[in-house]
Amino acid sequence: MNTDAREQTVNLGAGPSMLPTDVLLEASQGIIDYEGTGIGVTELSHRSSTFKNLLTQAENDLRALLDIPSDYAVLFLQGGGTEQFSATLLNMLAAHAAKHQGQGGAPPVDYVVSGAWSSKAYKEACRLYGPVRQVVDMRKNIRDASQPIPAPSAWNLSSVDENPAMLYYCDNETIDGSEFPQDFIHQLPEEYRQRVPIVADCSSNILSRPIDIRTHAVVYFGAQKNIGPSGVTIVVVRRDLVVDPDAVHTSYFPRIPTTLVYKNAVDNGSLYNTPPIFPIYVSGLVFKKLRKEGGVTRAQELAQAKSKLVYDMLEQHPSVFQANVAHAHFRSKMNLTFRILDANTGEPSDAEEARFVKLCEEHKVVQVKGHRSVGGIRLSLYNALTLEMAQKVVSLMQQFVKA
């Protein structure tokens, strides 16, 4: 297979994003003939033992990579991160109702808003349910160095006596380019952290640094950044929170569509209905490769090294570049967002950014434009991007500065 053009290209897209070439080559063979079965992987029955073995292996490798304890289920679902905006809420409300026997009325649910994706999740919760509390909105603080970012101890959390059904946050904001410091959730008040189920959207930074699964009730992530093709969304959920929503009767939340009910997925080993076979297969190959190449520890070292190259450039040239995230300890190691300034006015300049995009494209560095809602530049340095590729990007930034 000819990979020449691919090898000359650096794809910095935010997702779907680049995948390792060796994985794709193996997958291209698997599409034609999966491990000598004479059947391509996308033609396998999801009820076949061949597919079930593939799924089990993918789950076991992911468990090893993320140190997922046995009292957590791992689900391979469809619907994307967007579907989890509602699924997490509805399943946690059901778990709450089962625990409290529907007593005490509709519980509050707490949302941390730190960027575009957590804001979307919060809005979806407001569409579906009444007592939704935005405990903090740190979007402005993140962009403004003069405004400190409120620590978890300062968030306007529901009282534990109100028995909140969950706290929701997004660990890495793909559009804004911000990422929570790693110990942020550990800074929540002890009693709150012990009693309130914590839900994390880790779609754009999973497997790039360790995450303490045990602190969470649910950790979920779409595949299409650090894992595999779009189409599979992985949900890691504490088993004691997996309940039958039809067995609890309350007036304050609706019946949950069957494909959103975690219990259906758990009881059927993620095979309640036809799963996204190809994305699961490729994700499994990525897990296997990552385990072989040093796991999350190595991925984290690489993510730190790659992002440091870019952030150092921004710091060294403040008259040319301006990081969107003003607070250095909040800057994402996956999605690095910045503006390019006009030399005369010192203001962000669409024209300068267009010049930079053009320079990148001339050197086959592609998909560097920021999300349409924020503009500017976004460099997504996911796990599949090598250190050498990051160095090429930084040398283009250097060239741009000189010009």
Ligand X SMILES: Cc1ncc(COP(=O)(O)O)c(C=O)c1O
The residue type at 37 = T
Only one of the segments 77-85, 239-247, 317-325, 355-363 lies at the binding site for ligand X (rule: CB under 6 A); that segment is: 77-85
Residues 213-272 binding ligand X (CB under 6 A) are 222
The residue type at 145 = A
Alpha carbon distance 199, 217 (integer Å)? 6
Residue 356's φ and ψ, nearest 5 degrees, are -65, -40
| Cβ neighbours, 10 Å, residue 363 | 15
From 176, 201, 306, 333, the catalytic residue? 201
Indicate if 140 belongs to the active site. Answer: no
Shorter beta-carbon distance to ligand X: residue 158 or 335 = 335
> In the complex, what is the shortest distance from the CB of residue 249 to ligand X, in angstroms, rounded to a whole number?
31
Regarding 20 and contact with ligand X (CB under 6 A), the answer is no
Residues 103-122 binding ligand X (CB under 6 A) are 117
Choose, by CB under 6 A, the member of 13, 80, 150, 348 that binds ligand X.
80
Residues 363-392 binding ligand X (CB under 6 A) are none
Alpha carbon distance 310, 212 (integer Å)? 27
Angle at which helices 80-100 and 116-128 cross, to 10°:
50
> In the complex, what is the shortest distance from the CB of residue 316 to ligand X, in angstroms, rounded to a whole number?
29
Regarding 170 and contact with ligand X (CB under 6 A), the answer is yes
**x/- map, 182-201, ligand X, by CB under 6 A:** -------------------x
Regarding 91 and contact with ligand X (CB under 6 A), the answer is no
Asked if residues 245 and 90 have their Cβ atoms less than 8 Å apart, the reply is: yes
Indicate if 155 belongs to the active site. Answer: no
> In the complex, what is the shortest distance from the CB of residue 195 to ligand X, in angstroms, rounded to a whole number?
26
How many residues at the interface with ligand X, by CB under 6 A? Answer: 11
For 298, residues 6+ apart whose C-beta sits below 8 A from its C-beta are: none
DSSP string of 28-76, one letter each residue: HHHHH-GGGSSS-GGGS-TTSHHHHHHHHHHHHHHHHHHT--TTEEEEE
Which residues here bind ligand X, judged by CB under 6 A?
15, 80-82, 117, 170, 174, 201, 203-204, 222
Active site amino acids: 117, 201, 225
